[in-house]
Amino acid sequence: MKRVKQNRNGRVETDIYSQYRNMLASRYASSSMSSLFSERNRAEIWRELWIILADEERKLGLPISSEQIKALEASKTDIDFERIRTIESKLKHDVMSHLKAYAEKAPLAEPILHLGATSAFITDNADAIIFRDATELVCSKLLSILEILGSLMLKYKNLEMTGFTHFQPAQPVTLGKRLAMWAQDLVWDYEELRFALGRYRPLGCKGTTGTQASFLTLFKNDSSKVRKLDEAVAQRMGFGHAVSLSGQTLSRKTDVWFLNALSNLGASFSKMSYDMRLLQHLKEVAEPFGEKQVGSSAMPYKQNPMLSERITGLSRFLMTLSQNGNWTHATQWLERSLDDSSNRRLVIPEAFLTADALCEAAHRLLKGLFVNTKGIEERLSIYAPLFETEGEMMVGTLKGGSRQKLHEEIRKASIKGKIKSVKKKSSHLSGIASEQVENFYAEILKPLLKTVKKGTSRFDSASI
């Protein structure tokens, strides 16, 4: 099959399967998240920012006509990406290429486009909008996942199962308690993302070195108008205020906030996935497995934990990205250097797309979670005699015995296999685990879930 051909201009064309594609976009993440970081979305935001800048400058008295603003608005979505690439091949500057292509579509507004601004005005303010939208998307999916976990933890709050420390049988827990612990981690991650977003501020209009000198010149040394422009642009973007101080770019410290929060989310999902893989091996719980799904190309009987393993792998990748943000922030020179640009184009989108992919996989896993109550009960019955001994040690101590001596007696008896089966199952093996679940749900999770709007989560069921 021929995959490469040349068009009439001699340019090489290929189908989508002939070149490398990012697996996050093509395989794992949702179309909703992928579209946020698309060329088209970014280009439209850039044009919206140019419109906002010109319009607010007009309102503050600069010689910009309403007709020029209308010309910009009329061609905002008329984006010729091939033309932009042609221009960039000569200029080697992405913002200027978009700027010139936009001016060709709206020649009336060409003289006032990008007035007083630098490239960072476009790129960093666009990033602020995309960061916000991407964070909101992850948070909405987290709430939906927490809603599922909330239902499951209440359903299984009393289902006792063997607890493990060091992956050795320990005192029983309940399945509801384990699910609640996953949820507690995710609640903390949700709160951290909301905190990062809550204190986030866009660049606004700061000029080439952050002094706003170009805008001060435009407004004839009226600093009040410079400040008004800065705040008005931020508010038009949907933020309350612009950042107080900057060099040419917004401090890359803000990248660190989001990358750290997303990395922490990756750690929580990783913990969940390892727990799932261990429990599926024990045949106590299992992730959903499709009627026609294949677990192994060699062993037809296998039902591998594909979703859990995907979560493990993607989490590992996401956790490594947090270091990148600190390095980028730490190595910026004075008012700015450009070594952050190519790096951020890779790291920031991939961090958000990976977090989104993790939400997609976790949602599918929890929505179809299978609980093998028979398997849970069988394992619990095997170890029940040993589990009873801790309670017996407590009772013996209350009756005046030595805790240390009782411990040694039980240790010796267990090693020799002399711990006898109990006649009656105790009701205290899992302590107050069920109450802990109820309290966590009532005090922490339920109030948070009130923010969930039915039907607003955007999960992509078509992902592989």
- List residues with catalytic annotation: 166, 296
First to last CA, the chain: 25
Rounded-to-integer distance, Cα 332 and Cα 338, Å = 8
Tokens of 452: 């969930």
Q: Which residues of 54-90 are buried (b: 16+ CB within 10 A; e: fewer)?
A: bbbbbebebebeeebbebbeebbeebeeeebeebbee
User: How would DSSP label each residue in 313-372?
Assistant: HHHHHHHHTHHHHHHHHHT--TT--THHHHHHHHHHHHHHHHHHHHHHHHHHHHHT-EE-
Eight-state DSSP code of residue 70: H
Token representation of residue 248: 């040419």
Q: Which two tokens stand for residue 50?
A: 């140019």
Kindly give the pairing relationship between strand 370-371 and strand 160-165. Answer: unpaired
| Dihedral sign computed on CA atoms, order 379, 380, 386, 390 | positive
Residues comprising the chain, all counted: 464
Q: Which element (helix H / strand E) includes 170?
A: strand 168-174
What is the spatial distance between Cα 146 and Cα 51, in angstroms, rounded to a whole number? 40
Q: Exposure of 4 by Cβ count < 10 A (0-12 exposed, 13-18 middle, 19+ buried)?
A: exposed
- Round to whole Å and give the CA distance between 245 and 215: 15
The region, left, alpha or beta by phi > 0 then psi within -120 to 50, assigned to residue 162 is: beta
What would the two tokens of residue 223 be?
């600093």
Residue 172 near residue 429, CB atoms below 8 Å: yes
Question: Which of 142, 123, 146 lies closest to 134, judged by CA?
Answer: 142
- 129 and 45 Cβ atoms separated by less than 8 Å: yes
C-alpha atoms less than 13 angstroms from C-alpha of 397 in its C-beta half-sphere: 12
- How many Å apart are CA 461 and CA 457, to the nearest integer? 12
Token pair, residue 449, equals 């879930």
Nearest to 84 by CA among 93, 72, 75: 93
